[in-house]
Structure 1
Amino acid sequence: MNSLIVYFGKLGFSENDITEFLSCLKTRKFSANELILSNGQLENYLSFIDTGIVRYFVIANDKEITFDFAFRNSFYCAYDSFYNRTKTEVYIQALTDCELYSISNENLQKLYERCETAKKLGRIATEYLLDKKVKRELNLLTKTPQERYQKLLDEQPKYIQQIPLKYLASYIGVVPETLSRIRKRIS
């Protein structure tokens, strides 16, 4: 839980506020390749990844399409489902063993009512997820697959080796063979 305490400390949260928030958290552990959330379920948690890598994907025409990853020391959730209280259309999978610190939507709403800092946390998490989404869309519209792969490699060099080639290829919008050629050109 130290990683989360450090994260909040950097944001200027007081020790009392951090303690109140931490008392509402639930630790959840998932094994590599385990589904955390499936299409048709309701996302009940906003989670902070202490360890591991998470993959977001959809299934279209019987094919898995990876559209995002989340890494250590970051928030993740199926934000459309979590905030709108609707069933999700995505799958979220633990690519590696994961340990998550999660707050339920219900507990977060209770914290919002009694703690200004919780509102700040909610805003920060929402802004982080929205910023990530906008950047992803811009990358898809303006960058080549090689540029998208290079950006991911620059941002997450030690984690990229833990993600199977087929998921990386899907994420950048190419087939695995094309990604292999991109990797050869870069190295």
Structure 2
Amino acid sequence: MNEHLKKINALIDGFDAETNSALQAISKTKKYKKGEFLLYQGEVCKSSFWIEEGITRKYYMNEKKEVTTELLFKHDLAVAFSSYVSNQPSREFIQAITDVTVSCMDKNAFQHLKINHPQLIQLDLLMTEYYTMWLEKRLFEFHTLSAMERYKLLLKEQPDFIRHIPLTYIASYLGISLETLSRVRTKI
């Protein structure tokens, strides 16, 4: 997946000045405090959020229990993908775990830009491919790795950020109970 990210960055770096300027014109920097929501469940996701600083999570409610589906870090894209694509209400919340700075891009403005900037069509495709590969990787990990292996992988991939995430969110993200996470952590 790192190779795919390199392709995305190379494409962005190769944008002509006009495309860069157009993208900057529709991008807005927003700041969210710890605990604030970028998107509420039931809202239509009309923007994508590129995380510049901080950590967010995506979660849904299941019988009054929060289920964390994604932890998103610096350089990740936070978006309720099915809501964004279908213009249907989101099944998920997107919440800041820490203070967060994002570059927010309106979907309609981005779609309009693609008409005159074909490089953005390629960017859109590469981002969709990346997100699909990320989801496939996450699903594969759930089916093939033990709780301890999933936790070690998270530690390996995000060592600088893990201490900022409440253990309840980590346990939910890993698909285990808080008690199981505690046992896993004592064995490491």
2:181 is equivalent to residue 179 of structure 1: yes
> What RMSD in Å do the two structures reach over aligned CA positions?
1.7
Indicate the residue corresponding to 1:37 in structure 2. Answer: 39
User: Residues 76 and 129 of structure 1 are in contact (CA less than 8 Å); yes or no, is this contact kept in structure 2?
Assistant: no
Indicate the residue corresponding to 1:10 in structure 2. Answer: 10
Per-residue CA deviation, residues 68-110 of structure 1 (Å, 9 max, x unaligned), is 1110012120010111111111111000111110111111111
User: Residues 13 and 117 of structure 1 are in contact (CA less than 8 Å); yes or no, is this contact kept in structure 2?
Assistant: no
Indicate the residue corresponding to 2:149 in structure 1. Answer: 147
User: Residues 42 and 87 of structure 1 are in contact (CA less than 8 Å); yes or no, is this contact kept in structure 2?
Assistant: yes
Q: 1:112 aligns with which of 105, 110, 114?
A: 114
Q: Distance in 1 between matches of 2:96 and 2:168?
A: 15
Report sequence identity in percent. 31
Indicate the residue corresponding to 1:48 in structure 2. Answer: 50
TM-score normalised to the size of structure 2? Answer: 0.90
User: Residues 45 and 87 of structure 2 are in contact (CA less than 8 Å); yes or no, is this contact kept in structure 1?
Assistant: yes
Structure 1: 4+ residue segments shifted above 4 A: none
15-24 or 110-119: which moved more? 15-24
Mapping 1:29-108, distance limit 5 Å: 29-108=31-110
- Code of the residue aligned with 1:173 in structure 2: it is G
Partner SS for 1:47: strand
TM-score normalised to the size of structure 1? Answer: 0.91
Describe the shift of the 1:123–1:8 C-alpha distance in structure 2 as closer, same or farther (beyond 3 A). closer
Describe the shift of the 1:9–1:145 C-alpha distance in structure 2 as closer, same or farther (beyond 3 A). closer
User: Residues 8 and 126 of structure 2 are in contact (CA less than 8 Å); yes or no, is this contact kept in structure 1?
Assistant: no
Runs of at least 5 residues in structure 1 that lack an aligned partner in the other structure: 1-6
Runs of at least 5 residues in structure 2 that lack an aligned partner in the other structure: 1-6
- Code of the residue aligned with 2:76 in structure 1: it is S
